[in-house]
Amino acid sequence: MELYSKILLKCREHTHYPLLFLSVGGSRLFGYHTKHSDWDVYGVYVAPLEECIGLKEPVHTMEFSRTIGTEAVNYTLFDVKHFLKCLNKGSCNQLEQLFSPLTIYSGAKHRLLQDIIKEGFYSKNMAKKWFG
């Protein structure tokens, strides 16, 4: 678990936006990783008010990489508005990130978002993607 702490620390060094959650995806989530696999880390953050109301150009997605010891870590962070738009369009990737059992950081708002989705936030687009 020490690696998780370092992954979170490197993320917070890159962005000071408040995180809702940070989770592991890719081959490590599904158990297909090898000893040479990198780490794919996904998260959602709350953008500053200026970006939310349009006073400043929003950054919807942040992508960056870091090396922690011998481990290569690729980060992809989404602002919560963009994340929810993708989720509403039926993105299975966002569901995987939200409910990943390999969670590096989770706060009360992450759990609230999970509860909202569990209680019936399903769009027609989600149904089309899942059920054809």
pLDDT for 51-95, tens place per residue? 777 777 777 899 999 999 999 999 999 999 889 888 888 788 888
- Residue 1 clears pLDDT 60, i.e. is over it: no
Instruction: Determine the pLDDT at residue 6.
Output: 95
User: Side by side, which strands form the sheet with 71-79?
Assistant: 61-68, 71-79, 39-45, 19-25, 103-106
Count of CB atoms situated within 10 Å of the CB of 78: 23
